Amino acid sequence: MTNSLKPARVRMAPSPTGHFHLGSARTALYNYLLARKTGGQFILRIEDTDRKRFVEGAEEEIFDSLNWLGIPPDEGPHVGGHYGPYRQTERRDIYLEHAWILVEKGFAFPCFCTPEELAKVRQEQQERKQNPHYSGKCRALDPTEAARRIEAGENYVIRFKMPYEGTTTTHDHLRGAIVTENRYLDDFVLLKSDGLPTYHLAAMVDDHLMDITHVFRGSEWLATFPLHVQIVRAFGWDEPVWVHLSVFLKPSGKGKMSKREGAEALKDGHSIFVKDLEQLGYIPEGVLNWIALMGWGVAEDDVMSLEQMIERFDVDHLTPSPAGVNFAKLDHFNGAHIRLLPTEELAARIKPFYLRAGYSVDEPTLLAITPLIRERLVTLDDCLAFGGFFFQETVEPKPEELIAKGLDAKRSAEIARKAYEIFSGLPEISHETAEPPLRELVEELELKPNQVFGILRVAVTGQTVSPPLFESMEVIGKEMVLARVRNAIEILEKMG
């Protein structure tokens, strides 16, 4: 039913209170997929009414991360739309008006209790081992008396008048019906004394006014879900389809993901923040594939493009079970998507990593090495480890690594000299010209290919792991290969 052809209007509603993380990215992605699948709209709404937690720059990070991921909103503060404004602090009057509609309908009331009074009541309740809740004092106030006090300039909030009895039945798309006894709920604040709404009021009003059909949000909102449903019903509005997404578990699988785990991940070259993932050399295709499957009950490691995800997405397939944050899977998907990129595209994406590391990059070399290193890349910045030597004038092999397994420095130097002679006699060094005589040399000396090629690999690339040797030498060119082998011979001779 949820994937009927009716265009969905979905929203992500982040608070600009910190970095854009995996959870936000997953919500954004599911929104985007459903919108694209049904020909609907994906809306970005900035929930910035909690001024104490506001973080400068967080809003820009949200836009940047969505753009980088390639799932930009159709409507939002930067792109506009017919349902704006899309920043909640610009919608104050709307919330004020709606809070008073609920008061007039008898579902809410102004409350004049001071913070001190509330704290005192809370303390008394705690002493009596009761759950803290609003005392109910201002519920009974006569409306004319309340109006007089407001007129006189007294501070007030507006609270929801939670029924003391009965139950509320809510319906979560992934969990089914949930029945809550109203006595466990509180007279929640809807409008604060600064005139700004709480999430409870603002989100319900906006979701209605913005014609939202499906609400994807974190399962931390399940606790106040009955309140939200009561607010929507009090207004007499239709409810959206509610989808509370699963929580994320630590990589160890034990317990919820926390800020501390985030910091640990970074030490290990991973991160739960989208902006860091970009810096670390992850590509949007890999990140999207990874987060898509956290909470999506399809085969575990299906490599999917965004188009394929749109094709296959189905709200009915989402699962409420907790999702493990498994960075090995991120690496798997990232490598897989890197290998799917056309050469020119991958070259363009690794280039900034070379430039940032201080290499001067010429296009022909970049294009020539990209297919050689592609297979080995897990993240884009691996291009430095596997292919930095292509852009260096000289390499500095570790002397001990130039010695082939089972041989000594003297013998290794001899082998290098023989290879040098072969290379000098070639018109140019290429895979076709250099490999056959080198293989003959291996046989003639009754050695293993790895012994001979190992010396040359370290001599020419400066490292023990490299892209295919002969192809690499072809890119480096005869002159530079000879210079590097000569240098290796000198080093080996000094040791021997």
For ligand GLU, the binding residues (CB under 6 A) are: 13-15, 47, 199, 203, 217-218
Smallest distance, Å, CB 12 to ligand GLU? 6
Q: Quick one: 310 exposed, middle or buried, by C-beta within 10 A (0-12, 13-18, 19+)?
A: middle
Contact call for residues 34 and 313 (beta carbons, < 8 A):
yes
Determine the distance from the C-alpha atom of residue 173 to the mean position of all C-alpha atoms in its chain, rounded to a whole number: 24
CB-nearer residue toward ligand GLU: 18 or 437: 18
Cβ proximity to ligand GLU: between 20 and 453 the closer is 20
CA-angle at 191, arms to 188 and 197, nearest 5°: 110
Q: Which tokens in the block code for residue 338?
A: 């890197």
**Helices vs strands, H then E, count in the chain:** 20, 11
Cα distances (angstroms) measured from residue 176 to each of 57, 192, 212, 220, 241: 38, 33, 20, 17, 11
How many residues are given for the chain?
Answer: 496
Cα(103)–Cα(97) distance, rounded to whole angstroms?
10
CA distance 191 to 116: 19
Annotated catalytic residue: which of 105, 259, 398, 448? 259
Identify the bridge partners of residue 191 per DSSP, sorted by sequence position. Answer: 158, 197
Q: Is residue 259 among the annotated active site residues?
A: yes
d(CA 215, CA 173): 10
> 296 vs 78, 256, 301, 332, CA distance in Å?
30, 18, 11, 17
Preceding amide of 85 cis, omega within 30:
yes
- Of 84 and 218, nearer to ligand GLU (C-beta) is 218
Smallest distance, ligand GLU to C-beta of residue 247, A: 13
- What's the min distance (Å) between Cβ of 227 and ligand GLU? 13
Nearer to ligand GLU, 47 or 278 (CB): 47
The least CB distance from residue 225 to ligand GLU, in Å, is 11
Helix (H/G/I), strand (E/B), else coil: 191: strand
Q: Which residue has the tokens 């159709």?
A: 74
Shortest Cβ 169–ligand GLU spacing (Å): 20
Q: What is the nearest approach in angstroms of ligand GLU to the Cβ of residue 222?
A: 12
In the bound state with ligand GLU, the residue whose beta carbon lies nearer, of 243 and 287, is: 243
Tell me how far CA of residue 139 lies from CA of 102, 168, 181, 323, in angstroms. 13, 20, 20, 42
SS3 11: strand
β-strand pairing of 323-324 with 248-249 = parallel
How many CA atoms are closer than 13 Å to the CA of 459, on its beta-carbon side? 30
Structure tokens belonging to residue 296: 């999506």
Cβ nearer to ligand GLU, comparing 58 with 162: 58
CA distance 309 to 290: 11
* Cβ contact 465:377 at 8 Å: no
**Nearest distance in Å: CB 88, ligand GLU:** 9
Helix (H) or strand (E) holding 218: strand 214-218
Question: Among residues 225 and 389, whose Cβ is nearest to ligand GLU?
Answer: 225
Closer by beta carbon to ligand GLU, 47 or else 285: 47
Minimum Å gap between C-beta 70 and ligand GLU is 21
Active site residue ranges:
259
